[in-house]
Every structure is written in structure tokens, then in C-alpha cells.
Chain A
Amino acid sequence: MDGRNKSGHDDASCIRLMLRRLLYDAKIRDAIYQIALVMGLVALSVWFVRNASQNLVNAGIASGFDFLWRTSGIDVPFVLTNYTAQSRIIDLMWVGVVNTLLVTIIAIIGATLLGFVIGLVRLSPHWLAARVAGAYIEVVRNIPLLFFILFWYFGVIAALPAPRQSISVFGVAFINNRGLTIPVPIDGFAFRAAAVITVAALVLAWIAARAARAERDRSGKTSFGWLAPALALGAPLLAFVVATLISTWDVPVLRGFNYRGGFVLIPEFAAVLAALITYTAAFVAEIVRGGVEAVPAGQSEAASALGLTTAQRLRLVIIPQALRVMTPPMTSQYLNVLKNSSFGAAIAFPELVSVFMGSALNNTGQAIEIIAITLALYLAIGLAVSAFMNWYNARIRLVTR
């Protein structure tokens, strides 16, 4: 290609040649593409931001995060913190975070347990049981979650009796169409102490289990293997029984048309929880099935040959190996539960989206700030969940050379 230029090329054609070389050089072309892309995105963002600030000025809304310290004036029907309508908006946000976490954690535990049961039943040799579990999975997975939330809320819980005709649970808790009213201890000190004892007992149990295993590896004898389970189960149980006995209880009583006293688990809470658990369990069940089916059949046969019972075979051989396959998809499901807890907003359960992106945003009009905070909170909680699950995954991963 240089033949033309060998003899007497002038400056202009030399520059043209250099330019052409530059354009056909892969590295330079890549750089040009990327710079163009970044400049395009920046231009687009600048345009959006300019429009937004113009629109905000027109609407008379000041930007900034000062509004977080203003009094919220919003009543929330389900509060675990000491929030009242006189609290600040940032406390309202915290109420949303706590309620979101509460629903998410309970739903994750419930869905994991129920999903494990359904998944194992789906694999059971009993033909009919396996079919029933399969039918449950196929029905639930192919219907929207929001459908189930509305169904539980407007269909099931709304059909419960009015407070006067409440279903009584041993005369202390009452189920009616305004929720589940449960007794609460007047002074929570005993229960806080029990919680501390539980954590301490779990730590001790963990240490005991490690020590027992080290002792067994050293001497070949199981000497104090009973200690860890006794600590982990017995101490918390004892602590909570004692706490229950020594506390004075605020027991709900029927006054007029409703119950006074106690703590009300509102219908919205029950509906979101019921829907999330039953819905997610179907997906967990499929993950469990996939995980168990991924364990080679030889493992199960070998366990049988060693004389293990069905329960032992599952607990000691199959499930530990299946867990490795199951952990990554389970992480996705747990993140889904976190995100799906926001569906509660559709029935006004006061979780993060509902109280913050809904009520607080309507009151203040600070759309951009509130949206940014909400999304950042979800991303942060989600990152924490996946970090924990990745740590767990790394722990149970198959160690190969």
C-alpha cells in the first residue's frame, strides 16, 4: 500500500496516511469508540439533569437531603421501633427498613423450610405424594406473586370473623379480620436478657462443637459430643421459658368493637408473609430437587449399602452434597424475597417502598432524593445478603486439588 507514497510524497498525503493508519489501528479505534460512548452518556445525563433541575425550579421544590430531619407527620400502623408521627422522616425511613428486613428474614426462613419439605416430598418414592408436591409447584410458580398477596389479603383474611367473633388461641391471642392480636411483655427486659443468653449459648455451642471434633480427631473417641447440641437447644429454650414466666404480660382484652392491649400483627403483614412464603417455597422446592438430583445415584446406593436409614442417608450423604449445587440459586431466591417484600406496598403494608417511596415522597415531593436513597438501601441490603451467601458457599464448596 506504500508503493504510491514511496516517491516524493508531500506533507498533505503524509498526514492523510497517518490519519488512515490511526483509524485502522485497532487500539486507537477501540479508544475512540469508548470515548464516544462515555461522551454520549455524559451528554445524555447532563441533558436529563438540566431538565430535572429546570422542572424542579418550576415546581418550587428545593433539592438536598435536609428534608430527612423534618417531622414526618405520618402515622404508621405497624412499628417495631419507637417511631411516632412526631418523629423525623429519617426515622420513618428506618421503620421501612426494619419492616422490610422483618418480612424478608421471616419469609426466607419459612420459604426455605417449606421449600425443603416440598422439594423432598417431590422426590419421594411415594408416587402420589410426589405428584401432589409437583402439582403445588406447577400451580404456584405460574401465577403472579401479587395475585397471591391480594388473594390472601382480600380473599382470605378479609373473610375472617370480626373482632367480636374472634378465633381465640388459648384465650391470650386472637385472630380476626383486623389481624392477629398477641400478648406482649410489659417490660421487655427478661426477653432481651434471654436473647443475649441465646447468642452467648450459640457461641459456646460452636466452640464446644469444634473442641469435640478436635478431640475426636485426636483420640478417635467421641467424648463430649452431646455438649454442643445441649447448649444450642437447651440454654435458649430455658432462657425463654424463664423469661415468659417472670414477665408480666399485656394480654389483649375485648373492649367495645376491638381488642385493646397486646401487639397487633396487622393483616397486611400476615398476607405479605403468607404469600411470600408459599410462593417462594415452590421455587426453593425446584432448587432442592435440582440439587438432590445432581448428587450421583451411586452416593445414595453406597449409603444404603453401609446400612444407613433413609433419614440418615439424606442428612449425612445427600443433602450436604446437594447444598453445594443449591447455594448459588438459593442466593438468587433470597435476593428475590428481599425485592419481592416490596409487593407489600400494593396492600399498604408499611415496608420501605410503601412508607418512603410512597408516603414520605407524597408529603415532601423530594422524588429524586427519595428514589436514590431507596434504591441505594435495596442495593446495600442485597449486597449484604449475597456477601453472606457467598461466604457460606465458599465454606461448603467441594475442596479439590
Chain B
Amino acid sequence: MSARLNIWRARLFSGPLTSLVTIAIFALIVAIGWPLLRWAVLNADVSGATRADCTSGGACWVFVKQRFGQFMYGFYPVDQRWRIDLWAIVSIASVALLLWKNMPRRGWFALVVILIWPPLGVWLLGGGFGLQPIETRQWGGLTLTMFLAIYAGLIAIPLGILLALGRQSRLPVVRLISIIFIEFWRGVPIIAVIFLASLLLPLIMPSGVGVDRLARAVIGLAFVISAYMAEAVRGGLQAIPTGQHEAAKALGLNYWKATGFIILPQALRISLPAMTNEFIALFKNTTLVLVVSILDLLGVAQASLADPSWVGYSMEAYAFTGLIYWLICFALSRFAKSLETNPGQSRHRMQDAQ
């Protein structure tokens, strides 16, 4: 016990200056933390259903409770919300199974999930073919945030890999086109891209062919993020020793076989942390669809503040949405970090061989 006490004394009170800094920071933490604690927990109202139930002067979590459905599902019809639940459960279960290293036939499972589940998911959320059709304008909240991030990511990852390979290609035209594509999308603001997609996509399609406004946002986001993904993958490609290329060639493999079976599996493993970080950035930037009136989680929270019966409860809405964003991004960034510190077995083997 006293040993632990000594550690803390060394950490916080090792000298006069250290002690002074410690006390100052403690004072600051108390000055900020205590009112916050009183507001968020001690004086908060949780029970009830209307603004009249918020009497204690602290946070009015009743507001968040009443709006919870909208924060999660947007303006999706209440009796159809089971479709979103099912979509979320199947998606989470598939990802969990994909991350389980010892799953039998993991490769086949991954292929099936990646090919079958995205179109099925669109059908499940959007309806048609037996399900009640639900227009994308009714989608919203966390559902929409997740949808934007996942579908933009699904387009961006293969496109990014192709662009990274294109940038490394020995064909000058392919290389030039890849470089222009990557540098262009990395050089312009995402908000401009979202405007661009929402204005330009309907314009360049034959008259009469409409592009759903949510699809426009997904395509815009996907293009930008594919450029960043391409640079993440390029880092991985550059880390592959030339011996690997030479060995593949010596085995008589052609370009696509060598890339698909030898180079890419190793490169992707190296670039996975960087790709995850790009995905976090994408996830945070999905909030920008707000500017074309698509209401994701942040958009629904913002819209809920306009409700006259709940005026003045913006802090509760921000605290709640901020926490959700933080939890998701923090979990993802921890995942990226764990990939960095625990590289796969084969990477060790590769390093040993050098």
C-alpha cells in the first residue's frame, strides 16, 4: 500500500514546482468537473415525458429519452424499424465473425458477406420486392450515419486499392490517371465534393434518369475517401520487399496473380491501421451531408433543437450525440492501434526472412 502511495507521491508531488502544477490542475479539474457532474448527473432529470418534468435545473435527459428513436432511426416509420434492427444485427454479427481469426472457411464467408450483404441491406432498408418501400428522405439518425460510412467505404476500398496499384503501375497512362484522380480528390474540400455530387450527378445523367440524393452523397464521399485509401494502401505496397515481386515472377505468376496472391495480402495487412484511420476520418466527415439537407445523427440532433416544445435543451442533444460519435471513433482508433502493436504472425515471418 505504501509502495503505491510512494509512486503517486513521486508522480504528483516530487518537488515544489511539480506539487504546484498538480494542485493547479486539480483545481482546474474540480472547477470544470464538479459543475459538469452536478449538471449531468446530480441535478439531472431522467423520468417523465415532457419539459415540465425537468425541474431540478440540471440536464434534461427526458428530452434525449423522448427523441431517442429519432436519433437512432431518423424519420423511419415506427412499425418498420425492425428492418433497421435486423440490418444492424446481421451487419454486426458478420463483422464479429470476420474478425474471429479461427473461423472455419473465413475467406469464403468474407466473400459471401461482401458480395451478398450490401445489396440485400439496401433492399432491407429501402424496400420494394415485397417490403414496404421507404424513401431515403425518411432515413436518418445514426442509421443514416452508419449507412453512409459503410456504403461509401465499400465503394472506396476496392477503388482505393485499384488506384494504389495504378499509381505503382509500369503503364504511364494508368499511372498518370491514378495520380490525377488521387491528388484531385485529396486537394478539394469534402463539403465542396458533397455539393458537387448533389448538383453535378443529376446534370450529367440522361434527362429522366434520377440519382437518389443519398446515393449522390455516398458516391461523393466514396470518391474522396478512395483517394485517401489509395495513399494508405500505397504505403503498404511500398513496404513489400522487391524480393516478393521477384519470387512471384520466378514462380511464373502473371501480374494479377502475383498481385492478388502475393503482394496485396501482405500490403493490405501493413496498411490496415492506416486504412482504419482513414475510415474514422470518413466516418466523421459523413456529418457534412447536413449541408444538402440529409439528416444524419448530427443533423437529426440539430433539427430536434428547432422543436418549440423543447427549446433551450441544445446542450443535452450535443452531449448525447458527441458521446455516440466519440464512442464509435474511439473504438475504431483503438482497433487501428491494436493492429499496429499486434501484427499478424505472417508479418513476423516476413521480417525474420529478411
Interface residues of A (CB under 8 A from B): 30, 33-34, 37-38, 41, 48-49, 51-52, 54-56, 58, 126-129, 132, 138-139, 141-147, 150-151, 154-155, 158, 335, 338-343, 345-346, 353, 357-358, 361, 367-368, 371, 374-375, 378-379, 382-383
Contact = CB atoms under 8 A, between A and B. Distances in A.
Contacts of B204: 48-49, 51-52, 55
Contact of B188 (A142, A151, A339): A339
A24 to B, nearest CB: 12
A342 B325 contact: no
8 contacts: A58-B207, A128-B21, A132-B29, A343-B288, A358-B195, A367-B203, A368-B203, A375-B196
Given A34-B171, A144-B298, A151-B318, A378 B290 contact: no
Main DSSP-derived SS at the A contact region: helix
Interface in B283-307: 284-285, 287-288, 290-291, 298, 302, 305
A361 B196 CA distance: 11
Given A52-B204, A142-B326, A158-B314, 13 more contacts: A30-B170, A34-B173, A48-B204, A55-B202, A126-B21, A142-B325, A143-B325, A146-B290, A150-B302, A155-B318, A345-B191, A375-B196, A379-B187
A21 to B, nearest CB: 18
A343 B190 CA distance: 9
Given A150-B318, A342-B189, A144 B206 contact: no
B177 interface: yes
Given A144-B287, A147-B325, A127 B11 contact: yes
A347 to B, nearest CB: 10
B305 A154 contact: yes
A146 B192 CA distance: 14
Contacts of B50: none
A144 B203 CA distance: 30
B284 A51 contact: no
A262 to B, nearest CB: 29
Interface in B17-54: 18, 21-22, 25-26, 29
A377 B202 CA distance: 24
B325 A371 contact: no
Contact of A342 (B11, B171, B192, B206): B192
B200 A367 contact: yes
Contacts of A132: 25, 29
A374 B298 CA distance: 26
A339 B189 contact: yes
Contacts of B329: 141-143
B188 A379 contact: yes
Interface string B166-205: 0000111110010000001001111110011001101111
A126 B23 CA distance: 12
Interface string B188-229: 111110011001101111110000000000000000000000
Nearest to B332: A142
Query: B interface, how many residues as a size bin?
Result: 35 or more
Nearest to B201: A48
Contacts of A33: 171, 174
Contacts of B288: 146, 343, 346
Interface in B265-297: 280, 284-285, 287-288, 290-291
A320 B205 CA distance: 54
B64 to A, nearest CB: 15
A30 B169 CA distance: 11
A379 B192 CA distance: 12
Contacts of A375: 184, 188, 192, 196
Contacts of B174: 33-34, 37
Contacts of A126: 18, 21-22
Pick the 10 closest A-B CB pairs, nearest first: A142-B329, A127-B11, A144-B284, A339-B189, A34-B173, A342-B189, A48-B204, A146-B287, A342-B191, A144-B287
Contacts of B29: 132
B192 A56 contact: no
B315 interface: yes
A378 B188 contact: yes
B285 A144 contact: yes
B287 A147 contact: yes
A144 B280 CA distance: 10
A378 B199 contact: no
Contacts of B284: 143-146
A379 B177 CA distance: 17
Contact of B199 (A138, A144, A340, A371): A371
A142 B330 contact: yes
A367 B199 contact: yes
Nearest to A148: B322
A340 B190 CA distance: 8
A54 B195 contact: no
Contacts of B199: 361, 367, 371
Contacts of A143: 284, 322, 325-326, 329
B12 interface: yes
Contacts of B25: 128-129, 132
Given A142-B325, A146-B298, A127 B12 contact: yes
Contacts of A343: 191, 288
A367 B202 CA distance: 11
Contacts of A353: 189, 191-192, 195
Nearest to B283: A144
A154 B313 CA distance: 11
Contact of B291 (A52, A346, A371): A346
A155 B314 contact: yes
A339 B207 contact: no
B143 interface: no
A155 B315 contact: yes
A30 B326 contact: no
A361 B330 CA distance: 38
A129 B274 CA distance: 29
A382 B302 CA distance: 31
B70 interface: no
Contacts of B94: none
A346 B289 CA distance: 10
B91 interface: no
A144 B290 CA distance: 13
A143 B301 CA distance: 15
B333 interface: yes
B179 to A, nearest CB: 14
Contacts of B184: 375, 379
A378 B191 CA distance: 12
A351 B322 CA distance: 26
Contact of B203 (A41, A51, A357): A51
